[in-house]
Chain A
Amino acid sequence: MSSNNNLLVKLNNAGYQHNDKWLVKGVSLRVEKGKIVTLIGPNGSGKSTTAKIALGIYKKIDGEVEKYTNKVGYVPQKISIDWTLPLRVRDFMLLTENLKDEAINEALSLTGVIHLKDKNLGNLSGGEFQRVLLARAISKKPDLLVLDEPVQGVDFTGEIALYELIKKISDELNCGILLISHDLHTVMSATDHVVCLNGHVCCSGSPIDVAKNNEYKALFGEQASQILSRYEHKHDHVHTNDGEIKKN
């Protein structure tokens, strides 16, 4: 089928255990070109682990993972850069790919940190560094973007702008995005598919389906469910239009 050609990564009943403890188990999901798949769930529910399984960082896994691309951009949740390395932002941008200067400038401008290009990585603030991480991941124009809480520490207005940027990138590059986020508002407005994790897949589907799910309500509380469905409702016509065009 045509949807199979768009497939970027597929997890089939995948799990990972460390020190005899399952970090996550029985996860099945697929990321396709141009789609945003979001993982949500409480702390320790295995979101980052699932992302690392999809990326092939964890090798001794249960189940199967099939990756159909090597052009991957990754924004990890935690990254500590050692100050023994003299590393400027421009050096960091070239870490995994040889890029032209224009490509570097373009990506840094998109995330609003072009003025930091010659700064030492160790001297950036948390939010600035997060923007650089995102710029690095998108600069190589990847097929698959894996973003593990990409806007942590970014100021409020920046956060909204960056989520808009992520949505725009997914449309323009037609790349698939596996997103991990705590911000339910944003998640629901941009996401095509939500996977709700709690050590296993607790429920998954379109945002509106997940919001109605009882397990989701039990996990996040009634209020979260309202946030989510209200958001969905507010943008009802936009989404319905989108969906209908595709369906027709």
Chain B
Amino acid sequence: MFDDFFIRALVAGLGVAFVTGPLGCFVVWRRLSYFGDTLAHSALLGVTLAYSFELNIAFSVFIISSLIALILIQLQKRTNLPGDALLGLLAHSSLAVGLVVIGFLTFIRFDIMGLLFGDILAVTVDDLLIIWIGGALILLVLKLIWKPLFASTVNYELAEAEGLNPDRAKAIFTILMAAIIAISIKMVGLLLITGMLIIPAAMARNISDSPQKMVIYSIIGGLLSVIIGLFSSLEFNTSSGPSIIAASLFLFILSLLNIKQSIKLKN
């Protein structure tokens, strides 16, 4: 069944969408889209490391992304630079260092486009296992920290005062972000992972009135984007990542119609 590369890509993409749905909602709620971008950019460094030392790509991306997140937290504490400047600094310097390292790895032929924009041909059965097992773990942990994470997203002091330990939840969430980037890099590519997190969640925001609904619609939006995107990628011979993201943009535009209608109803 998984002999066909397209089936493999589809199963992998759907697995990714299940996880990016809920995580993406938190990225939107907590205004973390640039943080996601930064982790994703640093993933290139992780990939080069994987090739250099013959490590598993998802594993080494996870390690590097977590490391960058840690460095960011330290920099935030120790410098007076604003958060977005620090994010930009880390994102572009880690991307640059990654590209420089690739320059040195002349003995390996690199498919840079595949790394940046995703490559469905590259998805192996091993990748499927990583995506589905890793994804299930991410969702399980997210469910466990949901209450403190959500409460502190609404109001940090309320969560802290009523004994929910929001700092721990935030730290765990950072690790989950690194993990989702690690498992989805082959599918969507490192330049577009944040789009996969944000766009379905943004679409869901337009059509939901409660957090639970937003999560569910975000998952559905991600699944539809993967299906539409991959079929059109096959049809038009385009890269998988951009096709999926373009499909999600299409769904987002559709969701805007819903806003227009509800505004009209109010008037």
From B159, B161, B210, B211, name the one whose CB has the most chain A CB atoms within 10 angstroms. Answer: B161
Chain A positions within 8 Å of B212 at CB level: 91
A residues 65-83 near B (Cβ < 8 Å) are 70, 72-74, 76, 79, 81-82
B168 close to A (CB within 8 Å):
no
A166 close to B (CB within 8 Å):
no
- Name the distance in Å between B219's Cβ and chain A's nearest Cβ: 15
- Once the chains bind, are B210 and A87 in contact (CB under 8 Å)? yes
A197 close to B (CB within 8 Å):
no
On whether A81 and B155 interact (CB within 8 A), knowing A72-B162, A74-B161, the answer reads: yes
B6 close to A (CB within 8 Å):
no
- Name the distance in Å between A167's Cβ and chain B's nearest Cβ: 22
Chain A positions within 8 Å of B208 at CB level: 86
Chain A positions within 8 Å of B161 at CB level: 52, 55-57, 72, 74, 76, 146
Per-residue A-contact encoding for B198-233, CB less than 8 Å = 1, 0 else: 000000010011111110000000000000000000
Chain A interface main SS type: loop
Per-residue B-contact encoding for A141-169, CB less than 8 Å = 1, 0 else: 00000100000000000000000000000
Chain A positions within 8 Å of B205 at CB level: 84, 86
- How distant is the Cα of A120 from the Cα of B28 in the complex, in angstroms? 18
- How distant is the Cα of A79 from the Cα of B153 in the complex, in angstroms? 12
A residues 54-112 near B (Cβ < 8 Å) are 55-57, 70, 72-74, 76, 79, 81-82, 84-88, 91-92, 95-97
- Once the chains bind, are B209 and A86 in contact (CB under 8 Å)? yes
B92 close to A (CB within 8 Å):
no
Q: Contacting A88 at CB < 8 Å: which of B29, B31, B209?
A: B209
- Once the chains bind, are B154 and A73 in contact (CB under 8 Å)? no
What bracket does the count of chain A residues touching chain B fall in? 20 to 34
List B residues at the A interface (Cβ < 8 Å). Answer: 28-29, 31, 147, 150-151, 153-155, 157-164, 205, 208-214
Chain B positions within 8 Å of A92 at CB level: 154
On whether A95 and B209 interact (CB within 8 A), knowing A56-B161, A57-B160, A79-B155, the answer reads: no
Of all chain B residues, the one with the shortest Cβ separation from A121 is B154
- Once the chains bind, are A74 and B157 in contact (CB under 8 Å)? yes
Of all chain A residues, the one with the shortest Cβ separation from B147 is A96
On whether A96 and B28 interact (CB within 8 A), knowing A81-B155, A86-B208, A87-B211, the answer reads: no
- Name the distance in Å between A174's Cβ and chain B's nearest Cβ: 19
Q: List 28 A-B contacts (CB under 8 A).
A: A52-B157, A56-B160, A57-B160, A72-B163, A74-B157, A74-B158, A74-B161, A76-B155, A76-B157, A79-B155, A79-B158, A81-B154, A82-B29, A84-B205, A85-B211, A86-B208, A86-B209, A86-B210, A87-B210, A87-B211, A91-B212, A95-B151, A95-B154, A95-B158, A95-B159, A96-B159, A97-B162, A140-B162
Of all chain B residues, the one with the shortest Cβ separation from A73 is B162
- Name the distance in Å between A67's Cβ and chain B's nearest Cβ: 9
- Name the distance in Å between A71's Cβ and chain B's nearest Cβ: 8
